[in-house]
């Protein structure tokens, strides 16, 4: 079933002579499967195929697009057993974690299918003409979102299901009407291939050309850059490291025709803890923090990597409690040796360069709390505020809650940030901090951690650089669809030539902005 090849539309392709394999993170053993590195030719063929079918998908009705998304979800669900089995081997995640992520992925196909069917993401708008307006007649103006064209998606290492070949970027791009070429993450090529085949079967079930989807695999950076640089690529979706994301941003912005890269990258998701929370229950707080930090073995984009706590006895109690939990924690293998090495190097640097006091579990690569004084933080803030991907948290002991504002000023863009406090603390002193967080964070959580992301309308999984490449967009939540389609205005276009979404009679029955008012009614009913 796993052949180790590129899936270029319905064709298995094995042009490349270079191959790679994967190791089981849990045991370090080599996993079955020999994967071929994609060649430049294969990249080109995939994008030519995508381009050839771009119009098919672009002009497909929302009902058919919704059906496509739904049928792919069904197809992926039918392969659950196989996919989960391989995913467990390739990630070393607990089986409960893999099961939950699988369900999350299936849920995504369903909710996006529904959202596409509702037509909200078309953002249909109508401003009627006024031929009698002075000094000039007002034209009839209508606009809707039209798919941008072929999209390249880079699978994430840490979410091999919900943020990879069958994940949010792929689902939202197909749902918006864009062909997709996925670059599978080399940590889980087997999972990627199984998912890719399931996606292709779903496309077949929908009766659509398989060329709207391809899966390219490889470890070489050149493959990724070739995908981002290809003239037919119209946009890029990426979830991963700052280094990887920035390389793609630079490649895309230096094209003869720059294209957008929607990259979700580094974030330390700072947690500001008012003292009374710890006075009340330092141990309970430590437990909750630990649960959040170690989700997915610490490999979550929204992992709380920085915690700012006023110095004192409450802080000491918290550190003792956290240290105790850490020392009793079990093994947490990393997804791949590269992540493990970067983690160890980053943690070591905190100790040697920033004089951080490390609390960690006996086993290598386990959770770490790196404690620094306020003075050390001020002296080494750049290094201490950089993400070290994994279950690591920097504890900044600040003189008092007033210093929260000072710390907040130093933070670069973040996906998330939290304030923890009692009801009294929140109402009496947290307001200026809440304002400060709005300068740099995409999501602000009160008395909770940023891990755990709803697929809701109000979800924002984004933030200023370096959290993402474009803070106006989100890669998770229903607004993720907005990245893949651009507004096109139709001026004085006769009814019979208008797309269905903009026809006066509203045959799709979708919500539209008519003269600035939301309306599902047709004009005759108004």
Catalytic residue positions?
264, 301
Q: Is 262 or 377 the residue whose CB approaches a second copy more closely?
A: 262
Sign of the Cα pseudo-torsion (141, 143, 149, 154, in order): positive
List b or e across 315-340, with b for residues whose CB sees 16 or more CB atoms inside 10 angstroms.
bebbbebbbebbeebeebbbbbeebb
Rounded-to-integer distance, Cα 457 and Cα 19, Å = 42
Within 164-223, the residues that bind a second copy by CB under 8 A are none
Pairing of strands 19-20, 35-36: antiparallel
Q: Is 260 or 310 the residue whose CB approaches a second copy more closely?
A: 260
> Which range in 15-23, 249-257, 284-292, 402-410 contacts a second copy by CB under 8 A?
249-257
* Cβ–Cβ under 8 Å, residues 170 and 199: yes
3-state DSSP: the chain helix, strand, coil percent, rounded to 5? 45, 20, 40
> Which range in 180-188, 276-284, 331-339, 468-476 contacts a second copy by CB under 8 A?
468-476
Within 478-497, the residues that bind a second copy by CB under 8 A are 478-479, 482-483, 486-494, 496-497
- Dihedral over alpha carbons 266, 272, 277, 283 (to 10 degrees): 40
Non-local CB neighbours of 313 within 8 Å, separated by 6+ positions: none
Where do we find the tokens 């490291």?
241
Does the N-terminal peptide bond of residue 173 adopt cis geometry, omega within 30 degrees of 0? no
Residue 52 is a binding residue for a second copy (CB under 8 A): no
Phi, psi (degrees; rounded to nearest 5) at 169: -65, -45
- Dihedral over alpha carbons 211, 215, 217, 223 (to 10 degrees): 60
Which string of x and - marks every residue 337-376 that binds a second copy (by CB under 8 A)?
Answer: ----------------------------------------
Question: Rounded to an integer, what is the distance from CA 447 to the centroid of its chain?
Answer: 23
The binder of a second copy chosen from 18, 55, 341, 375 (CB under 8 A):
55
Q: Is 29 or 525 the residue whose CB approaches a second copy more closely?
A: 525
Q: Is 32 or 231 the residue whose CB approaches a second copy more closely?
A: 231
Residue 381 is a binding residue for a second copy (CB under 8 A): no
Residue 143 is a binding residue for a second copy (CB under 8 A): yes
Residue 250 is a binding residue for a second copy (CB under 8 A): yes
Q: Is 145 or 360 the residue whose CB approaches a second copy more closely?
A: 145
Within 496-525, the residues that bind a second copy by CB under 8 A are 496-497, 511, 513, 515-516, 518
Within 93-122, the residues that bind a second copy by CB under 8 A are 118, 120
CA distances from 391 to 40, 93, 95, 322, 399 (A): 37, 14, 19, 13, 26
Residue 257 is a binding residue for a second copy (CB under 8 A): yes
Within 414-453, the residues that bind a second copy by CB under 8 A are 423, 426-427, 430-431, 434-435, 438-439, 441-448, 450, 452
Phi, psi (degrees; rounded to nearest 5) at 190: -70, -45
Residue 36 is a binding residue for a second copy (CB under 8 A): no
Query: What angle separates helix 40-52 from helix 221-229, to the nearest 10 degrees?
Result: 30
Rounded-to-integer distance, Cα 239 and Cα 155, Å = 7
Minimum separation from the CB atom of position 449 to a second copy (A): 10
Residue 131 is a binding residue for a second copy (CB under 8 A): no
How many residues contact a second copy, by CB under 8 A? 83
> Which range in 289-297, 354-362, 394-402, 462-470 contacts a second copy by CB under 8 A?
462-470
The binder of a second copy chosen from 209, 312, 338, 464 (CB under 8 A):
464
Q: Is 23 or 429 the residue whose CB approaches a second copy more closely?
A: 429
């Amino acid at each position: 079933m796993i052949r180790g090849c590129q899936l270029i539309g319905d064709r298995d392709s094995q042009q490349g002579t270079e191959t790679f394999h994967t190791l089981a993170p849990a045991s370090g053993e080599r996993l079955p499967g020999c994967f071929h590195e994609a060649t430049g030719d294969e990249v080109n063929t995939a994008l030519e195929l995508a381009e050839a079918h771009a119009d098919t998908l672009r002009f497909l009705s929302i009902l058919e697009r919704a059906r496509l998304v739904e049928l792919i979800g069904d197809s992926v669900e039918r392969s659950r057993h196989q996919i989960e089995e391989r995913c467990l081997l390739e990630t070393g995640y607990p089986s409960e974690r893999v099961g939950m992520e699988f369900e999350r992925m299936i849920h995504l196909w369903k909710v996006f299918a529904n959202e596409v069917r509702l037509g909200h993401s078309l953002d249909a708008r109508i401003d009627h003409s006024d031929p009698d307006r002075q000094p000039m007649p007002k034209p009839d103006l209508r606009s809707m979102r039209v798919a941008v064209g072929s999209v390249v998606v880079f699978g994430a290492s840490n979410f091999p299901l919900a943020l990879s070949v069958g994940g949010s970027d792929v689902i939202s791009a197909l749902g918006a009407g864009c062909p997709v070429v996925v670059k599978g993450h080399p940590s889980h090529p087997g999972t990627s291939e199984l998912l890719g085949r399931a996606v292709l079967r779903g496309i077949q079930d929908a009766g659509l050309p398989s060329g709207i989807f391809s899966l390219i695999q490889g470890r070489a950076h050149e493959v990724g850059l070739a995908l981002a640089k290809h003239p037919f690529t119209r946009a890029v979706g990426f979830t991963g490291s700052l280094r990887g994301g920035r390389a793609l941003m630079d490649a895309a912005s230096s094209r003869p025709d720059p294209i957008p890269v929607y990259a979700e990258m580094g974030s330390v998701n700072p947690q500001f803890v008012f003292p009374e929370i710890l006075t009340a229950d330092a141990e309970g707080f430590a437990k909750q923090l630990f649960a959040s930090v170690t989700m997915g073995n610490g490999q979550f984009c929204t992992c709380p990597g920085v915690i700012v706590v006023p110095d004192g006895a409450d802080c000491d109690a918290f550190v003792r409690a956290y240290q105790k939990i850490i020392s009793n924690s079990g093994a947490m293998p990393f997804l791949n040796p590269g992540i493990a090495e970067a983690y160890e190097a980053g943690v070591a640097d905190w100790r040697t360069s920033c004089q951080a006091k490390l609390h960690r579990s006996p086993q290598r690569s386990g959770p770490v709390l790196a404690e620094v004084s306020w003075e050390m933080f001020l002296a080494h803030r750049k290094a201490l505020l950089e993400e070290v991907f994994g279950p690591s948290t920097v504890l900044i002991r600040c003189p008092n809650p007033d210093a929260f504002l000072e710390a907040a000023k130093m933070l670069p863009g973040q996906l998330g940030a939290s304030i923890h406090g009692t009801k009294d603390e929140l109402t009496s002193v947290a307001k200026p901090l809440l304002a400060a967080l709005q300068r740099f964070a995409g999501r602000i959580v009160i008395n909770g951690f940023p891990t755990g992301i709803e697929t809701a309308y109000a979800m924002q999984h984004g933030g200023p650089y370096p959290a993402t490449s474009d803070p106006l967009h989100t890669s998770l939540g229903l607004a993720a669809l907005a990245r893949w389609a651009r507004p096109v205005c139709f001026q004085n276009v006769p009814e019979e030539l208008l797309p269905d979404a903009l026809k006066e009679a509203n045959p799709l029955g979708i919500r539209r902005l008519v003269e600035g008012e939301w309306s599902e009614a047709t004009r005759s009913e108004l």
